[in-house]
Each structure stands twice: as C-alpha cells, then as structure tokens.
Amino acid sequence: MSLEIERKFLVRDDAWRSAAIGEHYRQGYLSTLPDRTVRVRVIADAGYLTIKGATVGAARTEYEYVIPVEDAHAMLDNLCLRPLIEKTRHTLEDRGLTWEIDEFEGENAGLVIAEVELESEDQDITLPMWVGEEVTGDPRYYNANLVANPYCNWGR
C-alpha cells in the first residue's frame, strides 16, 4: 500500500512557466465515490490504472498499475464518466520539492492548480511566489469532482 500526501494550491501568475516541463494527460474515472476513486490515465504512450481511497486531511491510500495503452484508450473512450479530464502537467523543482502544475483544458479550461507531494502532513514548506490560495481540503478541486462539476459551470 502506498500513501499519497499532497497539498494543492491555486496558481496566481505565470512566473513558473520558464522553469517547467509539460506533458499532456488524458484521464477518466470509472468510479468517483467519496471513499474511493478509480482512474484511467494515458501519458504519452503509457496507460495507468489508479485506485485511491478517501482523502483524510492531505493523505490517502493509492495503488497505481501500468496497463496496456490500448486498453487505457478503450476504457477512456467507452467506459469512463464524462467529461474526461484533459490537462498539461508541468513539473518543476523548487527548494528541494517537485511541484506539479496542472493546466486544465476542455470543460475545465482556465483552472490551474499546483500540487506538491510531501513526506508528512506537517512537513514545513516554503511556497514559491507564484503559489496562491491553498485548496487542499476543497473537494471542488479534486480531479474526480471536476467530472461531475466542471470548472466552466462554477459561475466565476
């Protein structure tokens, strides 16, 4: 069993872009129940199946498996809930931490979220200047919930 501990933040500006490397993600959900999610993802030429438990604070259990990319595409096209999550994930290093900045597309266009994985929930971190409001505990920002309630429906 793996334990994922991450914090999520909104991104306040584009100052991170020059240091980031991006890769396109296509993902969908077979289950979005609050106590477990089952996600299918394609990154480049690789397919993944991920099962996550309920979020407690900033932590949750996570199991991830490589699957044939053809199977992943078939599940995304035929089995996953709509809309699919399409995004470019940018990664960069800052003060010894790896930040992942997700720039969403499609029905979630305009949403940009930064995530950082931690060793413990109480790990002390210094936030980069481009990091804005923390949204770790706000379920609206969970990728699985962006399927049922996409960002375009939020009425900003």
Residues recognised as catalytic: 29
The one-letter code for the residue type at 22 is G
- The β-bridge partners of 24 are 88
Taking alpha carbons only, the member of 50, 45, 80 closest to residue 63 is 50
Cis upstream peptide for 83 (omega within 30°): yes
Which SS3 state, helix, strand or coil, does residue 132 take?
Answer: strand
Residue 17: Cβ within 10 Å count: 14
Read off the amino acid at residue 120.
S
Residue 136 amino acid letter: T
